[in-house]
Amino acid sequence: DTGVSQNPRHKITKRGQNVTFRCDPISEHNRLYWYRQTLGQGPEFLTYFQNEAQLEKSRLLSDRFSAERPKGSFSTLEIQRTEQGDSAMYLCASSISAGHSSYEQYFGPGTRLTVT
């Protein structure tokens, strides 16, 4: 078990460009979550998948954000037309969907996005 992995670890982009991040969850976990964390704050929920179905989206997830998990394994998070306010750490987590265990989420190392 290699844990949750995320790529890239760091991304610097210019305002207006599109970026895509990848997350590979723990293999036996059917739930995958995306969170965003800014300085001095705890992680904030963006969206989550159970298998390939996107079940919930936060109102934080504007129309410029889209997430996919096409085969129920890895997931991608794309941000179109990036803005400076998108600069943050983007965290991916995974869990199994059984009672309290769904709240025992295991996080990847994150992707640090800087929009210049």
Partner 1 sequence: TQLLEQSPQFLSIQEGENLTVYCNSSSVFSSLQWYRQEPGEGPVLLVTVVTGGEVKKLKRLTFQFGDARKDSSLHITAAQPGDTGLYLCAAGGSQGNLIFGKGTKLSVKP
- For partner 1, the binding residue among 20, 76, 80, 102 (CB under 8 A) is 102
Determine the Cα–Cα distance for residues 66 and 107; give it in Å rounded to an integer: 20
What is the bridge-based pairing of β-strands 44-50 and 53-57? antiparallel
105 binds partner 1 (CB under 8 A): yes
Overall residue count recorded for the chain in this entry: 116
Binding mask 43-82 for partner 1 (x = CB under 8 A): xxx--x------xx-x------------------------
Stretch that binds partner 1, among 28-36, 61-69, 70-78, 79-87 (CB under 8 A): 28-36
Between residues 19 and 108, which has the closer beta carbon with respect to partner 1? 108
Q: 102 in helix, strand or coil? A: helix
Stretch that binds partner 1, among 11-19, 42-50, 67-75, 77-85 (CB under 8 A): 42-50
